[in-house]
Structure 1
Amino acid sequence: MSENKQSVCDEFGETHHSTGTMASFSFQNFINEFLNVAFGMFVFYFYEVEIGLNVILTSIGFVIYALWNAVNDPLVGYLTDRPFKFTRKWGRRFPWIIIGSVGWILAYILIFTPPNVDPESGAWIIFIWLVVTTCTSDTLASVQSTNFLSLFPDKFRGQERAKASGLMAIIGFIGIALGSIGPPLFIEYGNLQSYITQAGILAVVGLVAVFASIKGVRDEPEMVERYLKKCEEIEYKESFFTTFKSALKQKNYRIMLISYFLMQTTTACLLSSIIYVVRYILEADPEVTMYLMVGFLLGALGSSPFWSMICKKVQNNYKMMIISSFLEVIFLIPLLIGSTFIVILIGGTLFGISFGGYAVIFRGLVFPDVIDETVVIRGKRQEGVYIGIRDFFGRLSFLSQAIIFAAIHILTGFDRGVEKQTQLAKWGISIHFALVPMICTLIVAFLFIAYYDLKPAKTKEIREKIMELKL
């Protein structure tokens, strides 16, 4: 049976794709995780410690980046969520995914090539470079992620979502692995050229992943025709702000937005803290970052098939999300109190197990459930706008991370100019490494317990309604 035939919805609203197509699709998630983890782990540290830009200016630069990051995501979603002249020939999402991913990969290199000026007398030059390159990179990232993530709930429907989500999580974790383990192999403390080298190598790997994703992220002809036919029936001229306000009126969508912001803050703080933990708490070489990430990734990769299998069996994404959240909180405790390599390695591995649940459940199952509900409420597919709005809140995590780091470093007396930090400064690093993520994850768990109502019976009704609406 041909792949196109396999992909058509059956009478029960189920789609049927080959494992190869799911894996190919997942390489865009590889790119997403690959570049985001490398950015999160090294960019703030690179500008504050290696370049020597004042921590306040670095934080302001990240605040500007985060604000632009937040604003451009829903705008990109709104602008690309409409038919174009090339839509029938090239697809609704495919052109944007390829343009965005290639551009994002190349822009990543520019971030690590600031002008060679004195960080004090030329601080504003470095600051402007930081803002311009990060904002350019993020605009292209938004084009890729908004369209790639919008394609998922439309392309994969019904029972195959759990399998597709599991594969996406596994290949995404491989991206996290290479994005976190690769750079430390080339980075040397005090050697700026080594950062450019790692960026160039990451770009080559990223372009290979783009090529691997081409088959999986193509829009299938029946999807494009269904979309264009619906466009002829429904006017898509609603203003961006009308759509934005309508989205925020939906309770489950609001809960998802807040939860996504908190979980992205957790991820941003953890990743950005690792290099500080290695250098100032463990007092070790950059390569140790690689070993810690291997532990985390073994936990995440090893647990992802398990989480996917359990979710498919239990068929209750609400319950599974709460379980994985509480496990994350428990497994963060060793990272908070640990001050030795072994304790942090074990803690990171355990946390990886629970994080595998978050990747499979929240990103691959809960979010598509929420999108399905918006389709029924609105009577049309506007995934690009809704994912753009979600990313608006998610990108605010860079703002929160910059503020958290700046506040903690100032209050605890962190001094980038010395190798031996005070005990208070070390505690500050532990706080943004583990305590802040614990608090964020606890809030997510209680939000789901108290307010989220997309339970199995309701999600079944929503899928049936989508079939009736032929969406």
Structure 2
Amino acid sequence: MAEINSGRGYPLIKHSKKEMASMNVASIAIELIQGVLSILIFFFYEAELGLNSLLAGLGIAIYAVYDAFNDPLVGYLTDRPFKWTKKWGRRFPFIIIFFIPMLLFFVLIFSPPVFLQDSQFGLFGWLVFTTCIFDTVESFFTINFWALGPDKFRNQKERRGIATFEVYLGFIGVILSFVVPPLIIGYGNISSYALMAWVCVGISVVCWFLMIPGVRDDKPMVEYYLKTYETEEKEPFFKSLKGVLTQKNYMAFLLLYILYQAMIQIMQASVFYHTRFILNVEADVVTVIILMLFVGGLISLPFWIWYTNKSGNNRLTWIICACFMAIFAFPLTFVTTLAGVMIVIFLYGLAFGGFWVMITPIYSDVIDESVVISGRRKEATYGGIRQFFLNLARVIQALTLAFVHEITGFVEGGSTQSASAIFGIQLHFGVIPAIFIGIGVLIFWKFYDITPEKSKQLKEQLREAE
């Protein structure tokens, strides 16, 4: 149901919980696909196919750099009306059309032709080609999906509500990204990875159908956008980019978010190395380990939501959770038993749940501030730039694994590893990720200044301006 803000003509839309849940079913597919890539792409090409560590790292870095430049451009190009916008909406067509091609190219990443599997440069070329094609279509989907949220859900209560659905449903995607691969793949069985990818596609297609009602643009918002766009002064791309990069709070958010993603992606990729070469167990044990992350996150979510609603301080909650994530990640380097890993991962999950649930509210506060500063709604541009810098996390992951393995003597495609190579795996499972998130939280604490009081002021200014 839409209500028009008296005197301004600005539509205030109330959304049902059913609609919020429908939209965030997409989070299951996003976290599943991105999670599988983060967890397995380096392991698959290095440990299974035998691609040289540095070539694997370089290939993933090229993919990340390509994505970095592709995302802001896609965001800028889609932040304008098209001939179909009035009928179908701003974001809905991109979200629906590009989802299925994204899934098909995801399968190709794990399906290198047999004639290339004995060639180092053939595998390297396939890795770069398939990941860049995947990214091209993935950008149109994800950038428009993330841009939809801040524009569609305008008040703080709805934003925290949508963040709750995002975390709970996203958690399902994260768990599936750890549970599905170990149940299907077999170490040394290359074709099992393609089968695993197809199973992920099947799950994601179900999500595609369920998310359709929730990812539709609100018609009153589309009409308001079209009316204001015609009178709005158009901004060149590089001027728009400069405005985003000079927004202090956005950059503080972005730096912590990048280093958090670097932490997560390095730890995710490390789990399969840790179970295979340190715990010396089959891949399905990964499921048991990640179950503890899931349990810890679910147990903690109600507390973090209650605490943030009571305090109204998104900034403080994020800082507390980031600090505890660093504290609980550190000991993973020194734990070498399954029971020990499960306990520490559970404690880490308690903080991880709180950090994740606050990403959307904090990002939305930053978007509100950007509108007050610039007088424009540029969610897709911000989303594209967010994805641009987010790819630094993928580069950090790839280069961290590549250099640690190169320095410590990891044997590509080997069934066992030396003591020094095992120590390298332990380092990138705990200490190194903890350092990254520690640096990020210090930057965020120092420079991010959207307090509860400032957030209220921004919303008042936003209502007055719109």
> Which bin holds the TM-score, normalised by the shorter protein?
over 0.9
C-alpha deviations, 1:365-392, integer Å up to 9, x for none?
1111111100111101001001110111
1:223 maps to 221
Q: Does 2:304 correspond to 1:287?
A: no
Q: Within 2, Cα distance between the matches of 1:386 and 1:348?
A: 33
- Report what 2:188 is aligned to: 190
Q: How does 1:380-459 map to 2 (within 5 A)?
A: 380-459=376-455
Name 2:356's counterpart in structure 1: 359
Distance 2:341 2:5 in 1: 47
**Which of 160, 167, 170 is equivalent to 1:169?**
167
d(CA) in 1 for partners of 2:87, 2:427: 52
How far has the Cα of 1:113 moved from its partner?
0.9
Residue 278 (str. 1) matches residue 267 (str. 2): no
The question of 1:310 aligning with 2:315 is answered no
Provide TM-score, normalisation by structure 2: 0.96
Superposition deviation, residue 145 in structure 1: 1.4
Would you say 1:254 and 2:238 are equivalent positions?
no
Q: How many residues align?
A: 463
Could you tell which deviates more after superposition, 297-306 or 396-405? 297-306
Percent identity over the alignment is 40
Corresponding residue number in structure 2 for 1:239: 236
3-state secondary structure, aligned to 1:433:
coil
Aligned 8 A contact 1:41 1:273 in 2: yes
* Stretch deviating more after TM superposition (150-159 or 385-394): 150-159
**Would the aligned equivalents of 2:317 and 2:355 in 1 still touch at CA under 8 Å?**
no
Q: 1:72 aligns with which of 62, 65, 70?
A: 70
**CA offsets per residue over residues 234-269 of structure 1, 9 Å max, x none?**
033x22211111111111111122112111111110
**CA separation in 2, counterparts of 1:204 and 1:410?**
37
Selected match of 1:32 from 16, 27, 30: 30
User: Structure 1: which 5+ runs fail to align?
Assistant: none
- Structural RMSD (CA): 1.7
Whole-Å separation in 1 of the counterparts to 2:310 and 2:90 = 33
Counterpart-to-counterpart distance in 2, 1:146 and 1:187: 31
CA contact (8 A) 1:262 1:444 kept: yes
Q: Do the aligned partners of 1:282 and 1:339 also contact (CA within 8 Å) in 2? A: yes
Change in Cα spacing, 1:420 to 1:220, as seen in structure 2 (3 Å) is: same
Q: Which residue of the partner structure matches residue 103 of structure 1? A: 101
8 A contact 1:15–1:160 mirrored in 2: no
1:260-315: CA deviation from partner (whole Å, max 9, x where unpaired)? 21111111101111110110111110101111111111212332233223212210
> C-alpha deviations, 1:309-348, integer Å up to 9, x for none?
3212210111111111111112113312111101111111
Structure 2: 5+ residue stretches without partners: none
Aligned to 1:199: 197
Measure, in 2, the Cα distance between the counterparts of 1:335 and 1:14: 47
SS of aligned partner of 1:177: helix
Partner of 1:347: 344
State which of 124, 130, 133 in structure 2 corresponds to 1:133.
Answer: 130
Please tell me whether residue 372 in structure 1 is matched to residue 384 in structure 2: no
Looking at structure 1, the residues matched to 102 and 413 of structure 2 have their Cα atoms a distance apart, in angstroms, of 32
CA contact (8 A) 2:46 2:413 kept: no
Q: Provide the residue aligned with 1:92 in structure 2.
A: 90
CA distance in 1 between counterparts of 2:312 and 2:6 reads: 20
The structure 2 residue matched to 1:181, chosen from 179, 186, 195, is 179
Output the CA distance in 2 between the equivalents of 1:30 and 1:302: 19
Partner of 1:60: 58
Change (3 A) 1:14 1:82: closer
Distance in 1, matches of 2:12 and 2:349, equals: 31
- Tell me how far apart the structure 1 counterparts of residues 330 and 62 of structure 2 sit (CA, whole Å): 32
Q: Is the 8 A contact 2:75 2:384 kept in 1?
A: yes
- Which residue of structure 1 lines up, in the alignment, with residue 48 of structure 2? 50
* Cα distance in 2 for residues equivalent to 1:188 and 1:106: 22
4+ long deviations beyond 4 Å: 8-15
Q: How many Å apart are 1:126 and its aligned residue?
A: 1.7
> Displacement of 1:14 after TM fit?
6.4
The 8 Å contact of residues 2 and 220 in structure 2, kept in 1 or not, is answered as no
SS in 2 for 1:332: helix
Query: Which of 323, 329, 340 is residue 326 of structure 1 equivalent to?
Result: 323
CA distance in 2, matches of 1:387, 1:354: 25
Per the TM alignment, residue 432 of structure 1 is displaced from its structure 2 partner at its CA by: 1.2
Aligned to 2:207, the other structure's residue is in SS state: helix
Distance 1:207 1:118 in 2: 30
AA paired with 1:73? D
